[in-house]
Amino acid sequence: MRPFLLAAALVSIPLVVQTIRTDWSTDAWLHAASILELSEHPFDPGHPTVAAAAGDPDLSPYSLLWGLVHRGTGVGVLTIMTVAGLVNLLALWGGLWMLTSRLTRARLAPAFAVLAVPLLWGFGTWRWSGYPNLNSLGFGLPYPSFAAFAAYLVALALFLDWLREPSWYRALAIAALGAAATLSHPITGGALSLGVLGLLVVAVWTDGLPRRAALVQLALPAVVALVAVLAWPLYSFGLLFENSDAYTAANAGVLRQVIPRSILGLACLPVAMVLARRRGDWRLIALALPPLGLVAVGVGLDVPVLGRMMPFGLLPLQIAVADVVAGAVPTGARQRGPRLAAGAVLGMAGLLGAVSALPHMVPQPLLPSRIRDDERLETIRDEAASARGLGEGMVVIAPEDQIQLSALASGAKLVNPPFATPELDDADAREEAILGFLEDSPDRQLRIVEEYGATHLVVGDDLATQVDLASLGQVESRVDGVVVVRLDASLIAERAAN
């Protein structure tokens, strides 16, 4: 346990620093808005980012939990998210230890898994929510996807325990974790179902079918969990399938350069196959192949959402390599070659991962200009600072993408959805309305203001110089290149009448 804790502590240093600095991706504002909405209206929330009575998949049990914490403590939402990120990090390490210790034989395997899982990916690997590589973890630790990933790890570990010794409390815990993971990040719930099915097939193959009483013990909680997912009141799980096209564009990036970005992880497949064949233990292969198969289908049929299965396919392979490397202490000459080769792969991945973490550990003046000027290193608090003048209860028209995020930082709602949202039927009409608002006729502007309840217009300085803002309302603030205008419907109506 001590080597595992040491490895986890070392890998956590850049992740903790980045989380405290709030160097998160722009999805942070969706999750912050959801926490704020559920803090204010925990049992009857509106849409988290848009002024509309519609559900959203981010209105999940995870967001509800932290919304209630925000409601009870009253501290800032970014502070709440920082704490959530640190809790998720601890849960991820705990889940990884639980799962790895049940799937490996070498005593040091869990410690090496701490290195293998975030580092054994590829070149220019994805920065994507729910991908536990070193290029993604720090940018999204507070997000529901990583909480769901931790639940995935713990649930699989508990299922392995259940296969060894069935019990009701384990079955109920697996069902509860499965429901929470599915509602908080549906793709993770799907991966968990595949993992449970794969492990069950291996168990039946090696030990025969479990007793009927044990199967009932597993099936009843699973049915209750399914009913809970379908009956979740804050958003419609079924609409995710009906309106899955809403996520096609958002996930297109996961199918770009799949092989280079995952080559080190995929190279672990032969190691895992040899290990399974020698030991007669095919559990890691059963966990890896179904998700990787879905990724291949996604690439072949251009279905981006299936590409999100990649982390769940690579995880068992990374664990297999960790087990091989850990078993090299000490080893005989006959097996030293393959294990040294696996160690070299892990060392190369460690170098790549360390380089990706440097921008968050080194003072910016010491960084090369190409890295220092990367806009992705701007902190979320920088965006929040430009949102002064806005607040809760305001409905904002913001034609520029970056300013939309700044508006969400204040707790204001937008007319148009900045993120994919399957339950909003008029999303396209809203997008068209805000993009053409400044050039529209006064009649059209008045209709937009009244139909969507818009209270404010927020634009950048450059765009503000091209428009007569006084004809739309009163300029309330100009801060950091952002202009906030209180819209005046009566003023716009006078122009329309003339």
Flag whether pLDDT at 386 surpasses 60: no
The span from the CA of 451 to the CA of 65, in Å, is 33
Are 356 and 472 members of one domain?
no
CA dist., res. 141 & res. 478, Å (int): 33
Lowest mean pLDDT among 115-124, 127-136, 340-349: 340-349
> Pick from 333, 328, 280: which is nearest to 112 by CA?
328
Statement to judge: residues 6 and 142 lie in one domain: yes
Distance of alpha carbon 217 from alpha carbon 27, whole angstroms: 39
pLDDT in tens, 277-302: 999 999 999 999 999 999 999 999 99
Domain that holds residue 325: 2-360
Most confident of 4-13, 129-138, 338-347: 129-138
CA distance 216 to 355: 50
The CA-atom distances, in angstroms, between 289 and each of 126, 246, 293, 316 are 20, 27, 6, 9
Mean pLDDT of the chain: 86
Q: Among residues 360, 376, 400, which one ends one of the domains?
A: 360
Task: Looking at the structure, tell me whether residues 352 and 413 fall in a common domain.
Answer: no
What's the predicted TM-score (pTM) here? 0.89
- Is the residue at 366 inside a domain? no
Co-location of 409 and 474 in the same domain: yes
Judge if 126 and 196 occupy the same domain: yes
pLDDT digits (tens, 9 = 90+) for 20-36: 988 888 888 889 999 99
Claim to verify: residue 269 and residue 235 sit in the same structural domain: yes
Q: In what order do the strands lie in the sheet with 473-479?
A: 413-414, 395-397, 456-460, 482-487, 473-479
- Does 367 have pLDDT greater than 70? no
Query: Judging by beta carbons within 10 Å of its beta carbon (0-12, 13-18, 19+), is residue 334 exposed, middle or buried?
Result: exposed
Over the Cα atoms of the chain, what is R_g?
A: 25
pLDDT at 399: 85
User: Count of CB atoms within 10 A of residue 63's CB?
Assistant: 31
**Angle at which helices 186-207 and 144-164 pack, to 10 degrees?**
20
108 — pLDDT class (breaks 50, 70, 90): confident
Question: Cis before residue 144, ω within 30 degrees of 0?
Answer: no
Cα–Cα distance measured from residue 428 to residue 85, given in angstroms and rounded to the nearest whole number: 33
131 and 189 together in one domain: yes
* Of the residues 315, 344, 360, the one at which a domain ends: 360
* Amino acid letter, 217: Q
Element spanning 482, H or E: strand 482-487
Q: Judge if 412 and 281 occupy the same domain.
A: no
Average pLDDT over residues 133-141: 90
What's residue 365's pLDDT? 63
Percent of the chain residues past pLDDT 90, beyond the cut: 52
Q: What is the dihedral of CA 340, 156, 93, 281, to 10 degrees?
A: -20
Q: How many domains does the chain have?
A: 2
How far apart, in whole angstroms, are the C-alpha atoms of residue 359 and residue 135?
11
- Higher pLDDT, residue 96 or 463: 96
Greater pLDDT, 330 or 173 = 173
In our burial notation (b when 16+ CB lie closer than 10 A, e otherwise), range 197-215 reads ebbbebbeeeeeebeeebe
Residue 486, pLDDT > 50, answer yes
DSSP state of 203: H
Whether 390 shows a pLDDT value over 80: the answer reads: no
Q: For residue 374, is it within any domain? A: no
Q: Which amino acid is at 193?
A: S
pLDDT at 331: 47
- Predicted confidence at residue 354, as pLDDT, reads 58
Please state, in angstroms and as integers, the Cα–Cα distance from residue 148 to each residue in 18, 79, 95, 271, following that order: 20, 20, 11, 28
330 has a pLDDT exceeding 90: no
pLDDT, tens digit (0-9, with 9 covering 90-100), for 205-252:
998 877 888 889 999 999 999 999 999 999 988 888 777 777 887 888
346 with 435, same domain: the answer is no
The answer to whether residue 348 scores a pLDDT higher than 70 is no
Q: Per residue in 195-208, pLDDT tens?
A: 999 999 999 999 88
pLDDT for 382 equals 54
Same domain, 21 and 136: yes
Whether residue 21 is contained in a domain is answered as yes
Q: DSSP per residue over 29-98, as a string?
A: HHHHHHHHHHHH-SSS---SSBSSS---TTSSHHHHHHHHHHHHH---HHHHHHHHHHHHHHHHHHHHHH
Are residues 273 and 395 both part of a single domain? Answer: no
Helix runs in 235-379, H state only: 237-242, 258-266, 269-279, 283-301, 304-307, 310-326, 333-357, 369-372
| 378 located within any domain | no
Structure tokens at 467: 């428009």
Average pLDDT over residues 2-13: 85
Q: Can you tell me the distance from the alpha carbon of 43 to that of 201, in angstroms, rounded to the nearest whole number?
A: 40
pLDDT digits (tens, 9 = 90+) for 425-446: 888 888 888 888 888 788 999 9
Residue 421 lies in a domain: yes
Rounded (10°) angle between helices 283-301 and 186-207: 140
Termini Cα distance of the chain: 77
For residue 345, name the pLDDT band (cuts at 50, 70, 90): very low
In tens, the pLDDT along 310-322 reads: 999 999 999 999 9
In a domain, 377, yes or no: no
Residue 380 resides in a domain: no
Q: Is the dihedral of CA 128, 132, 136, 141 positive or negative?
A: positive
177 lies in the same domain as 268: yes
- Per-residue pLDDT, averaged over 31-56, amounts to 91
C-alpha 110/C-alpha 114 separation (Å) is 7
